[in-house]
Structure 1
């Protein structure tokens, strides 16, 4: 299968509700949508597919993530992401997967099991690190099946100071090739995330991730374009996005400074969302940020912020 077709079909899995004009028309008139929930114009599905995370609506729906998902659905959201999915029990994973299937919602990314920011060192090229990475890819496939996911976040880990950068890059490419050999038969895509959290991280910019994806040459290796980290590391979000667009498999959102919802910082998300929409992307955009306000009022303000940023049509 061609890489472009493979990625497009994988990223849009579970998001079919977003492609129908009938759903939007129904919600605008206050009719029941295909999941049986009556919504108003204020709660209609968004133009883009923003994915909530656990805790984002706990003041309205309680601590249970499944109930938060249902609340989010009622407010027009049609997807989730869950960095901690691999730490949940199999029963929890299945309940979340079943809930998403029932509501027709999409699953965004989860972090590959056992691979936090500082728990893997793919740049080192050490055999034990590669073996751990391969094992985590196998675990990710099983989790993805339970939650109907096609996207898993991978962070290569820290920079190795006693190795030339070219050698480190080669080590990362070779490790990822081994990982994609595990993921590709199942249609699962690892998205490499450039981060800004500390100067020791190996992967920091989208162009660096782009070069790795091109070298790996697999539809199961793409870029996670986290706009909060891009803004902190280099800015220039829209032009950089255009340069690496054909290797982007997922987006994450967070305003800067503060890493809260759109409109709380310096990033013009309304323009960015319009640009992403016009590029043709219809996959999930993960809401990987906190809430600026407190309690129910803060959660409602977050929803309002997304309505404003999404009002580009």
Structure 2
């Protein structure tokens, strides 16, 4: 499952809060587990992860997540949702004491260089999107937004590319600082996303140090970094002061914890022991289809959080 598959446009949907439900959706909700779990960390599901229990409506899905004990939510595609839907989702999260996680702040260039190129036009396009993302963040009470610097520029030395990216991110930080918002840079593994500029945590650490702003931090995606560099806990420790956000996915398969080789109980325990109060986004698929698979996801997090 590739990261870009999580970034989808959605149409506006009506909130069903306070309205009696009927038909198939009513049966789904009645059939859903009722026991809310008290998790140690803020794990954040995404839309679609529990649709067989909650139905297609994003409001119902948010309520289902909260009913299971999840205290956060992330939505890569939030920026593409209607203002009306964003407002309804924000209200539901506020009512259910859920923290909004990341959304993707800009167009990601998967196949051609943008920020690495140093192009003034590409830089301005990115900065305009950051400005627009500030308004989205305000609307949905988000503190973090994902930034992926895009493809490498094969015609330029890597150090020139780094300098171009650092300068662009400094200008973006100037936009974000008055609003206390943070862009989180996500390194992506070379197997799923060949040719991207940002791939490893030390590289992201170097860039954040060079930008030198509280608005520019690291999104440490455990799935990507297991593939790219491994040595997870030592690498987390090495760049800890620049990490603002985590994402989750087991390897191989990019599904829920316990389905692959990563000892997520130990990783979660370590992150918790360091006093992390932020969000861990559940940016992965379900290993099994249907309601059975959705319940397996919930049980996997209960097991991995049991430390």
TM-score by length of 1: 0.85
Residue 102 of structure 1 deviates from its aligned partner by 0.8
Residue segments in structure 2 that go unaligned for 5+ positions in a row = 1-32
Question: Could you tell me which residue of structure 2 aligns to residue 252 of structure 1?
Answer: 247
What is the SS of the residue equivalent to 2:239?
A: helix
Q: Do the aligned partners of residues 245 and 257 (structure 1) sit closer, same or farther apart at CA in structure 2, a change above 3 Å counting?
A: same
Conserved 8 A contact 2:113-2:153: no
Residue 43 of structure 1 deviates from its aligned partner by 2.1
Question: Could you tell me which residue of structure 1 aligns to residue 84 of structure 2?
Answer: 91
Conserved 8 A contact 2:250-2:258: yes
Instruction: Give distance in 1, aligned partners of 2:93 and 2:111.
Output: 31
Residue 104 of structure 1 deviates from its aligned partner by 1.0
1:272 equivalent in alignment to 2:267 = yes
**C-alpha offsets along residues 137-158 of structure 1, whole Å, 9 cap, x if unaligned?**
1011000011000100000000
Residue 128 of structure 1 deviates from its aligned partner by 0.6
Question: Could you tell me which residue of structure 1 aligns to residue 93 of structure 2?
Answer: 100
**C-alpha offsets along residues 157-214 of structure 1, whole Å, 9 cap, x if unaligned?**
0011110000000000000001011011101100000001222100000100000000
Question: Could you tell me which residue of structure 2 aligns to residue 302 of structure 1?
Answer: 297
Conserved 8 A contact 1:54-1:68: yes
Extract structure 1 runs of 4+ deviating beyond 6 A.
Answer: none
Question: Could you tell me which residue of structure 2 aligns to residue 138 of structure 1?
Answer: 131
Structure 1 residues 1-313: aligned runs within 5 Å: 42-115=35-108, 117-118=110-111, 121-196=114-189, 197-312=192-307
Residue 64 of structure 1 deviates from its aligned partner by 1.1
Question: Could you tell me which residue of structure 2 aligns to residue 34 of structure 1?
Answer: none
Q: Do the aligned partners of residues 286 and 188 (structure 1) sit closer, same or farther apart at CA in structure 2, a change above 3 Å counting?
A: same
Residue 65 of structure 1 deviates from its aligned partner by 1.4
Aligned residues: 273
Instruction: Give distance in 2, aligned partners of 1:132 and 1:223.
Output: 22
Q: Do the aligned partners of residues 113 and 66 (structure 1) sit closer, same or farther apart at CA in structure 2, a change above 3 Å counting?
A: farther
Question: Could you tell me which residue of structure 1 aligns to residue 16 of structure 2?
Answer: none
Question: Could you tell me which residue of structure 2 aligns to residue 25 of structure 1?
Answer: none
TM-score by length of 2: 0.87
**C-alpha offsets along residues 266-295 of structure 1, whole Å, 9 cap, x if unaligned?**
000000000000000011100000000111
**C-alpha offsets along residues 216-255 of structure 1, whole Å, 9 cap, x if unaligned?**
0000000000000000101111000000000001000000
- After superposition, the CA RMSD in angstroms is 1.3
Instruction: Give distance in 2, aligned partners of 1:140 and 1:217.
Output: 21
**C-alpha offsets along residues 21-49 of structure 1, whole Å, 9 cap, x if unaligned?**
xxxxxxxxxxxxxxxxxx97x52221111
Question: Could you tell me which residue of structure 2 aligns to residue 22 of structure 1?
Answer: none
Conserved 8 A contact 2:106-2:147: no
Residue segments in structure 1 that go unaligned for 5+ positions in a row = 1-38
